[in-house]
Amino acid sequence: MKSALKLWLSFLVLLTSWCILPQMTHAQKVPTHGNVSPHIYQDRDFFSQDQIDSLEKQNDELANSKQHQITKIFILSPNKMGADFKFPAKYMDINDFNDPENPAGYIQETIIAKKSTDSSGGYKGLRAAQAVRKYENVLVFIPEKNSLTFAASSFTSGRYDQLNWKKLTFGHKRQLNNSSSSQAKGVFKIATRINKQQLKLSQRNKPVKNKRPWIIFLEKFAIALLATSPLMIIWVVLRFGDRSTGIPDFGSDMGWYGGWSEREYYDEMRDIHDDWHDDPY
């Protein structure tokens, strides 16, 4: 009887200690797959069911396209980014797209690393990583930072530049700064635009080139112009700096003399000035 009572009391002590003492928390692991649907993960109530269904229908169309693209969407708080992720010091200044240091790029790399290993953790090889990278697109929104980032698949990444990204987010990025429902509408609209573009790109036989030729030309021209502008300024100063414009500079005696004497105005105006001084008052 006493031994049973001691055992019961020991159990109560252990149970009380477990409830009172702080529990050990495990480091968050970055999510790599959906929890409300196959391609959508959200750590809070965010998208409506209609929005989720629409986004999943878009993913079905992408998966059935020639290049079998998919777009995974993650709605996360910063602490869900995992213990290994560190937000850059200038987080809001980095690229919103195709940057390995932004949340979308980090999750994309995590997905690729995970899918490139077998059940025992062994690496499947470079070909497996390239295959995953070819079709996995990742869109991440962090409401606390009002930040939307995107990492495109290797097959479609060449289509994304600053101009294209601004076009995709135009009119809806401002919604990301408002209420939760407004944020959901903004992310949904932008994701829909991305998926429509991805669907067109996924019908191609070859990957999109990194940049369009005219953009490359303009960038090279701008760089060349910027690099040579100091030399151009020096040449202009040396070539035209000492030449008189013929317009008197009333703020400089040398300008008065140089501008007038070169065009033989000085002698004539001297006579006029002398006559003026000889006039009686």
Average pLDDT over residues 191-208: 95
User: In whole angstroms, what separates CA 213 from the centre of its chain?
Assistant: 22
Between 195 and 258, the higher pLDDT residue: 195
Which amino acid does the sequence have at 247? Answer: I
Is 190 in contact with 172 (CB distance < 8 Å)?
A: yes
Both tokens assigned to 67:
């290049």
In Å, what is the CA distance from 84 to each residue of 80, 110, 143, 260? Answer: 11, 11, 20, 75
Q: Using an 8 Å Cβ cutoff, are 138 and 150 in contact?
A: yes
pLDDT digits (tens, 9 = 90+) for 121-133: 788 889 999 999 9
The answer to whether 107 and 29 have CB atoms below 8 angstroms apart is no
Number of Cα atoms under 13 Å in the Cβ half of residue 260: 15
Tens-place pLDDT, residues 262-272 = 445 455 555 55
- What proportion of the chain, given as a percentage, has pLDDT over 70? 69
pLDDT tens digit string along 2-55? 565 555 555 554 555 444 444 433 345 889 999 999 999 999 999 999 999 999
- The pLDDT assigned to 139 comes to 97
Which of 3.10.310, 3.40.50, 1.10.3470, 3.30.160 is the CATH number of 40-210?
A: 3.10.310
| d(C-alpha 173, C-alpha 179), whole Å | 13
The band of 229, judged by pLDDT with boundaries at 50, 70 and 90, is confident
Query: What confidence score (pLDDT) does residue 18 get?
Result: 43
Confidence of residue 58 (pLDDT cuts 50, 70, 90): very high
For 152-187, how does the pLDDT look when each residue is reduced to its tens digit (9 = 90+)? 999 999 999 989 999 999 999 889 988 999 999 999
Q: To which residue do tokens 């980095």 refer? A: 94
The stretch 197-201 carries a mean pLDDT of: 97
C-beta separation of 62 from 70 below 8 A: yes
> Which residue ranges make up each domain of the chain?
40-210, 214-278
pLDDT of residue 101: 86
Give 253 or 175, the one with higher predicted confidence.
175
